Structure 1
């Protein structure tokens, strides 16, 4: 159950969640971000850079967007904006045409607006039903897809299939950063950048602040010198080349199956009832900031499904399947 909201009327009041409420066909009665979907992201699968945004393809949560000049996350692109699926295999921005291309598990999506007005191309029209888009690239004349052991050449404006070949017949293709199942080694000098918030990097191995092994799924170096790392749990690490530091960016829900929601002064508290239980999420919708309180790393939080939440004397009380969890926000303490 994804959290779905109508930004101008529902978010300030309560929020709304629904089973399969949104379909991929964009409704012209609404602006692209009148409706938004908030969900879990899964692994980062692809990274591409646009005029104003860094785009991150995700395993489950559509395309995340980081505004380069505002230095903050923005609303993500999902089925609510008209994508055919939230399962993203690759994302690519073409600087020559200004088109954003998104490969999903159902086919290829593209938009000149880069927010709404998506055109969908089915798998069978560009390479067959078993097509998996591992990487998207472009030249001044064509769009390229890398899929399994073949390369697919498309018109870079319409997406019409031109040819399928075993190796590209063009050089200097600008490829998006793609998912890697092998250990990613950071090049010098960013391998010596300081990791903020307790993260540790050592010779290709990554450990989160709670001692859990993570791995880098995507590596990208931007035109301004910043380094972007996509992690297998959906965390994004931004490497600032001026400060020579990496700091984590969290986006998305801890628990997809939303069953409890409370609007506080600072944002939303969101609990769920997935099996096994995952955790409780705080979401600041003004800053697009997420903080996850995970059951497996908080000793005072017994794992359980959450069914209700209440603000009592500046503490948040969560009713669950095994009792009540209480959180003191000022002390950052669970009991």
Structure 2
């Protein structure tokens, strides 16, 4: 056994404090939802189960209501969303282990203090597998040694081959094969799950490895698995019940819906698909490509919700989900060879218009067959970014400009020849690459790098809404409107601009990644990003 202490001056150089993005925010004003990957560790308080995941930070599961609450991620100040170990200590401090070292929070929510792995003396490649506590210390288990820490400061007070006192451990990743047959034989599993007494088998027939085992303060057995599902064992009924809250992708390209969302994104190295997300009811259903027949593997860039169908636009094809029949089908659209992406959908009567990187495609809503129209030929081989409509007009944003199609008279107008210009209206210097559209009850907004302009439905007039300097003349990925406030998502973050008072807020945090879509629901804005689905309570 080797004991040591570090000089005090090192402590001040190796401790880092991380809180929510800025101190003016409450811990869960910003929330990040992600694909979780496997469950590595579980720990308990009287109120929560804290679940350390491979990709999704620390999930919080309310033990009283059996519901998921906001997870703890980089949005709350963690240095990483890949959590190897978690432990809720008896003094109320929450400890987390990752590849960076360890972090702890006195509030169990935000204001995280990080202790670098170098200060802990962890060799390169060494992983923290479990965190626990004795009467007076916090303990870390790695593959080679046990580390003893001061429970208040996190200062390392010793390391040894085995603890010299009794340690109460939170669960860690199962690294060696264990025999689960007796446990799985004793319990039945609900919701269509089965077991072969070595592992679990999902309702889709996929074999699922158990990755961690924990015992709650109620003496219930919890099993965590490799796909993010965990099971709670009822001691009376001898039944395991499954729970899961994960996204199908972390790179969210599109958000569709009002009260609940359908989410689509880019393929990744893990299991991918689409997600049905209802935060009010704590529902997150995942439909993966490898577990659903007729659902071809595809990145998703656009979604439209129809009566009994959800259409997902991908690369050179669409995936249609019939919600009534619970049936999937993939259709090849044959858009072209030059980056054949479907950027947007628009429903016009019994037609579905597709905005693609090679023009416009029009499909019959019922039989999915192509419909010929002169508008298709007009925009052939041009990138069409987005589509929107009023009663008689379809607005089309493209790489070569903004166009308006009169659906009654079959006429195409450009921006300069349609509607009326207000006295002070200044046409943007760049007439091209209008990349985003949004609308409310009275107005429709169009954005490019030279500014945001607005069209009045009532008097058919054009006016300027936002100068490009407000968002740094950056490419606009998406825009959303809430009365006088406009939210502008660019490649550099989000700008919240009050068009009445000419005041702005800029949000640009590392945990955003790149922003792909933006949506307003109630008091929150929702961001589809390369780092997951992010919400911000702005009211």
Question: Which range, TM-score by smaller chain?
Answer: 0.7 to 0.9
Question: TM-score, normalised on structure 1?
Answer: 0.87
CA contact (8 A) 1:193 1:244 kept: yes
From 227, 233, 236, give the equivalent of 2:227.
233
Q: Are 1:116 and 2:110 matched, yes or no?
A: yes
Which residue number in structure 2 is paired with residue 271 of structure 1? 264
Q: Are 1:72 and 2:58 matched, yes or no?
A: no
Deviation at 1:189, TM superposition (A): 5.9
Q: Which digits, 9 at most, give the CA deviation of each residue in 1:268-306, with x for residues without a partner? A: 100112156821111111133211111112112122111
Q: Are 1:312 and 2:306 matched, yes or no?
A: yes
Alpha-carbon distance between aligned partners in 1 of 2:161 and 2:298, rounded to the nearest angstrom: 51
Which residue number in structure 2 is paired with residue 280 of structure 1? 274
Moved more, 49-58 or 201-210: 201-210
Which residue number in structure 2 is paired with residue 178 of structure 1? 172
> Within 5 Å, which residues of 2 pair with 1:202-241?
202-241=196-235
Alpha-carbon distance between aligned partners in 2 of 1:67 and 1:164, rounded to the nearest angstrom: 35
Question: TM-score, normalised on structure 2?
Answer: 0.55
Deviation at 1:226, TM superposition (A): 2.0
From 49, 53, 71, give the equivalent of 1:54.
49
Q: Are 1:324 and 2:348 matched, yes or no?
A: no
Matched pairs, number: 310
CA contact (8 A) 2:148 2:159 kept: yes
Alpha-carbon distance between aligned partners in 1 of 2:183 and 2:129, rounded to the nearest angstrom: 28
Q: Are 1:44 and 2:39 matched, yes or no?
A: yes
CA contact (8 A) 1:82 1:118 kept: yes
Uncovered stretches (5+) of structure 2, i.e. residues with no partner: 1-16, 330-539
Deviation at 1:184, TM superposition (A): 3.8
From 67, 71, 78, give the equivalent of 1:83.
78
* RMSD, aligned CA: 1.9
Find the residue that maps to 1:177 and give its secondary structure.
coil
CA contact (8 A) 1:184 1:219 kept: no
Alpha-carbon distance between aligned partners in 2 of 1:189 and 1:49, rounded to the nearest angstrom: 21
Q: Are 1:127 and 2:128 matched, yes or no?
A: no
Change (3 A) 1:189 1:103: closer
CA contact (8 A) 1:127 1:152 kept: no
Which residue number in structure 2 is paired with residue 147 of structure 1? 142
Find the residue that maps to 1:254 and give its secondary structure.
coil
Find the residue that maps to 1:306 and give its secondary structure.
coil
CA contact (8 A) 1:305 1:320 kept: yes
CA contact (8 A) 1:46 1:177 kept: yes
Deviation at 1:251, TM superposition (A): 1.4
Q: Which digits, 9 at most, give the CA deviation of each residue in 1:43-69, with x for residues without a partner? A: 111111112111111111101111111
CA contact (8 A) 2:181 2:197 kept: no
Deviation at 1:42, TM superposition (A): 1.0
CA contact (8 A) 1:45 1:217 kept: yes
CA contact (8 A) 1:184 1:217 kept: no
Deviation at 1:314, TM superposition (A): 4.1
CA contact (8 A) 1:183 1:215 kept: no
Find the residue that maps to 1:178 and give its secondary structure.
coil
Q: Which has the larger radius of gyration?
A: 2
Find the residue that maps to 1:185 and give its secondary structure.
coil
Change (3 A) 1:117 1:240: same
Q: Are 1:196 and 2:175 matched, yes or no?
A: no
Alpha-carbon distance between aligned partners in 2 of 1:184 and 1:64, rounded to the nearest angstrom: 25
Deviation at 1:127, TM superposition (A): 1.8
Find the residue that maps to 2:247 and give its secondary structure.
coil
Which residue number in structure 2 is paired with residue 17 of structure 1? none
